[in-house]
Amino acid sequence: MSSIKIRTKHLNGQTQIRTLITHPMENGRNRDKQNQLIPAHYIQELWIEHNQSKIINCNMAGSISKNPYFDFLLNGGNSGDEITISWVDNLGFTDTNKTIIK
Amino acid sequence: MTAYSLATTSGLFYSTWAQAQWLKESFKAVTYDEILKHLFPDAEFIDSRKIKFSRLPRTAENGAVVPIKITSSLKNIEKISILVENNPHPLIAEFFLSPVVEPSVSARIKMAESSDVIAIIEAEGKFYRHSKYVKVTVGGCGG
């Protein structure tokens, strides 16, 4: 299952894009039960495409909460348009998911 | 507006090595003043009421998850940055928005201790700033 959940909703001519990503977002400062530092593991970059054109690019680090949630408002956006969300983290893992605006 | 022109106007993609390094520097553990100098050299900040925080509580019970929503009535916004002054890593995130996106961004951030939360919006070459003090009762995961 993809780590990215996307929900879209029409709001007065705009489209709200909400996303919830499953990711530990470890900043490298926390310790586990054996008092060992947990290595940093966080999403570095997130981008959102609307019909294959990039509309939002976001840089972040470990200061975003675990399982990050974002929402954005897109002007316009029609039923049937495709929204793609992708991320890449500091260890090189990446994931992408897409949805169709209802 | 295509993604291509967006990339050329706001430096959207950190594809080259130098830019990747720059990005790494930006998120390093340094003080708030240093990060401001690094991110916005010689910038003059205009404190603006056109930037609004909603959802951001006055008192956060859990510093590991602090909801924040930034909205603005400014036009032609290129970039929204979120900073937390007293965090070990003051820069939280940067959002590059294309003109088809409304300036309305929400996220959940970590706060190590009570601190000012600052939003800086870059629009038409000017830097607008808004801040709010948030009291954290339980520290969150070291920032």
The 3-state DSSP composition of chain B as helix, strand, coil percent (nearest 5) reads 20, 40, 40
pLDDT at B16: 61
Task: Count CB neighbours of B42 within 10 A.
Answer: 5
pLDDT at B39: 87
Instruction: ipTM value, please give it.
Output: 0.90
A13 to chain B: closest CA residue: B102
Say how many CB pairs under 8 Å bridge A and B. Answer: 112
Distance CA(A78)–CA(A101), nearest Å, equals 7
Reported as a single tens digit per residue, the pLDDT across B61-94 is: 888 899 999 999 998 899 999 999 999 889 999 9
pLDDT at B15: 53
Reported as a single tens digit per residue, the pLDDT across B104-129 is: 999 999 998 899 999 999 998 899 99
Question: At residue B9, does pLDDT exceed 60?
Answer: no
Q: Cβ of B96 under 8 Å from any chain A Cβ?
A: yes
Of A45, A54, A69, the CB nearest to B107: A69
**The A4-11 sheet, strands edge to edge:** A4-11, A14-21, A69-75, B101-109, B66-72, B51-54
Q: Cβ of B100 under 8 Å from any chain A Cβ?
A: yes
Among A10, A16, A92, A68, smallest CA distance to B102 is for A16
Which chain B positions have a beta carbon within 8 Å of A44's beta carbon?
Answer: 23
- Max alpha carbon distance in chain A (Å)? 53
Domains of chain B, earliest start first: 3-136 (2.60.40.2470)
Distance CA(B74)–CA(B47), nearest Å, equals 13
Check A54 against B12: CB less than 8 A apart.
Answer: yes
Structural domain A4-92, CATH architecture: Sandwich (2.60)
Average pLDDT across chain A, whole number:
92
Q: What residue spans define the domains of chain A?
A: 4-92
B25 to chain A: closest CA residue: A61
Q: Is A31 helix (H, G, I), strand (E, B) or coil?
A: strand
Task: Count CB neighbours of B29 within 10 A.
Answer: 14
